[in-house]
Homo-oligomer: A and B are copies of this chain.
Amino acid sequence: MGGVPPGSMAGFKGQAAYSVDSKGRVAIPAKMRNALNPEAKNTFTVTRGFEKCVFLYPLDRWSQMEREIGALSTYDREARAFTRRIMMWADEVTLDGQGRITLPKPLTDFAGITDKALILGAFDRLEIWDPATFEQYLNEQPTDYETLAERVMGV
Which A residues have a C-beta under 8 Å from some C-beta of B? 1-4, 10-15, 31, 45, 47-48, 50-51, 63, 66, 68-75, 77-92, 104, 106, 120-124, 127, 141, 143, 145-146, 148-149, 151-154
- Closest Cβ of chain B to A131, distance in Å, is 13
- Neighbour of A87 across the interface among B11, B51, B70, B77, CB < 8 A: B11
Q: Which residue of chain B is the closest to A79 with respect to CB atoms?
A: B152
Which residues of B have CB within 8 Å of A10? 63, 66
Q: Which of B82, B104, B153, B154 contacts A153 (CB 8 A)?
A: B82
User: Assembly of this chain: how many copies?
Assistant: 2
Q: Which residue of B lies closest to A146 (CB)?
A: B50
> Judging by beta carbons under 8 Å apart, are A11 and B82 in contact?
no
Q: A11-B69, A70-B11, A80-B50 are in contact. Are A121 and B85 (CB under 8 A)?
A: no
- Residues A121 and B87 in contact, CB atoms below 8 Å apart: yes
- Assembled-state Cα–Cα distance A47/B1 (Å): 23
Cβ contact within 8 Å between B143 and A71: no
Q: How far is the CB of A88 from chain B (nearest CB, A)?
A: 5
In the complex, the answer to whether A68 meets B153 with C-beta atoms within 8 Å is yes
A146 to B86, CA, bound (A): 11
